[in-house]
Amino acid sequence: MNGPHDLGGQMGFGPVAPEQDEPYFHAAWERRALGVTLTAGAMGAWNIDESRHARESLHPAVYYSSSYYQIWIKALEVLLRRHGFVSERDLEAGKAVDPAATPKRVLKAENVPAVLAKGSPCDRPVAQPARFKAGDPVRTKNFNPTGHTRLPRYARGKQGTIEAVRDGFVFPDSNAHGHGENPQWVYTVVFEGSEIWGEGADPTLSVSIDAWESYLEPA
């Protein structure tokens, strides 16, 4: 979707303002926000693509006025309501009022190190051979889906070159919506800065994205 999250090339947000010796957390609640987000995700009711889509579906005014941990929590509330774990009445009361759906699992403290060390690999075998090879010229599709996609707006309808064939990966555009993993080949596609930004582009710049095969056409 053309949501507030799709920020490449947008203007007006001001300087980056890096912080010297930045702490990992700027308030105690951020620690809990990280942990609540990860432990709730570990229930197994949604996948990372659905959670990304919940974040980017926040209203733009909300998205831009929230810190990243606030974005996480606001989207988490959406996911918890959607999957029947938390009700509006629970949130209003600030305590458990309504019964909850049954999670696939509950992450216990003693299992955390193993779960974090394992992660969630999302490479998958793909039955068909890769359509493109390194060096192939390609053009990204020009589309504007209303659902989740990982092809940023700035890189749509642009000509680039396949730099590397990576692996088969879960396809977020379908996985985010419960339509299955449908793995596809992923490629690193590199574009000249001028192809993306046109007149006035930094002549020394090239930009790459990692693109699923269905985002690409031969050029």
Looking only at residues 47 through 86 of this chain, which bind another protein when binding is defined by CB under 8 A? Answer: 52, 55-56, 64, 67-68, 70, 73, 76-77, 80, 85-86
In this structure, what token pair is assigned to residue 66? 């929230």
Total residues interacting with another protein, rule: CB under 8 A: 94
**Burial letters 9-19, b for 16+ CB under 10 A, else e:** eeeeeeeeeee
Query: Which of the ranges 30-38, 125-133, 175-183 carries the binding residues for another protein, by CB under 8 A?
Result: 30-38
Q: Does 24 bind another protein (CB under 8 A)?
A: yes
Closest distance of CB 92 from another protein, Å: 9
State which of residues 57, 167, 181, 214 lies at the interface with another protein (CB under 8 A).
Answer: 167
Which of positions 90-119 make contact with another protein (CB under 8 A)? 90-91, 94-96, 99-100, 103, 106-109, 111-113, 115-119
Which of positions 200-219 make contact with another protein (CB under 8 A)? 202, 204-212
Name the residue among 68, 50, 48, 47 with its Cα closest to residue 4: 68
Q: Does 8 bind another protein (CB under 8 A)?
A: yes
Burial class (CB in 10 A: 0-12, 13-18, 19+), 112: middle
* Element at 80 (helix H, strand E): helix 68-82
Q: Does 135 bind another protein (CB under 8 A)?
A: no
State how far the alpha carbon of 216 is from the alpha carbons of 135, 153, 208, 209, in Å: 14, 14, 14, 12
What's the first-to-final CA gap in the chain, in angstroms?
A: 25
State which of residues 79, 138, 155, 216 lies at the interface with another protein (CB under 8 A).
Answer: 155
State which of residues 120, 147, 157, 177 lies at the interface with another protein (CB under 8 A).
Answer: 120
Token look-up 């216990």 returns 108
Q: Does 144 bind another protein (CB under 8 A)?
A: no
3-state secondary structure 146-171: CCCCCCCHHHCCCEEEEEEEEEEECC
Between 22 and 125, CB nearer to another protein? 22
Q: Does 15 bind another protein (CB under 8 A)?
A: yes
Query: What value, to the nearest 5°, has the Cα angle with vertex 182 and ends 196 and 86?
Result: 95
State which of residues 5, 81, 131, 156 lies at the interface with another protein (CB under 8 A).
Answer: 5
Q: Does 133 bind another protein (CB under 8 A)?
A: no
Between 30 and 136, CB nearer to another protein? 30
